[in-house]
Amino acid sequence: MTRLIRFNKPFDVLPQFTDRSTEGDPRKTLSDFIDCPGVYPAGRLDRDSEGLILLTDNGRLQARISDPRNKMAKTYWVQVEGTPDEAALQALRQGVELKDGLTNPAKARRIDEPAGLWARTPPIRVRKSVPDTWIELTITEGRNRQVRRMTAAVGHPTLRLIRYAIGAWTLDGLAQAKWEDLEPPKVPGRPKPAQLPNRRAQARRAKEKAKDTEQKKTGGKARKPRRPS
């Protein structure tokens, strides 16, 4: 039976179950919080980011969630430096030019600080002379550190990044560092043999088409092979 888990990842936790870093400098991983053999993250969330991670033991479901070709929307709460004006938000909505190309159009809006938000450890660095603002950003891509690069590109570096939603799954009601099982969706399986292309039929049709073409060239009669002289 397929298993699907949602986890609220804290800051400074690797989005994997093992750490291959230098010995003697262990870092926190998912195994410090989740004891469920056989499940793996569907996608990544950077060590310095917080929020929603989905884990499953079903390969097709994992691919459906994480594969960028499926364009599953991901929503982030982003605390940025400064106060983005409408021009900056519109730039995010239209697409931002990054080193690896133009981003897809996103949804972006200013929001109040999310209600009931947990404190980050350690807290962000605050500059008294520069205000900070929360925005909600929804993207359908999965480039490396994309949200941070997008906000920096419009002049507002990210101070804190929390993934709130993946598709229809959200953080609602899930405390930091906690996890719970979800009802997994049905994932279409591989096509049945009857649905696969019939190679023999394709070859037969190609042969018949070639024969028709040859007959048209010879006035409707098949060309007779020449006798050896």
CA 70 from centre of chain: 8
Radius of gyration from C-alpha coordinates of the chain: 27
CA 184, 190, 193, 198 dihedral sign is: positive
CA torsion angle 66 140 135 147 (round to 10): 70
d(CA 132, CA 84): 9
Write down the catalytic residue from 12, 32, 46, 57: 46
Instruction: Tell the residue number behind the tokens 């053999």, with chain if given.
Output: 37
Residue 46 bears catalytic tag: yes
Do 5 and 35 form a contact (C-beta atoms < 8 A)? no
Q: In sequence order, which residues have a C-beta less than 8 Å from that of residue 110 and are 6 or more positions away?
A: 84, 89, 133, 134, 135, 136
Structure tokens at 82: 């400064």
Measured distance CA(215)–CA(82) in Å, rounded: 75
Active site residues: 46
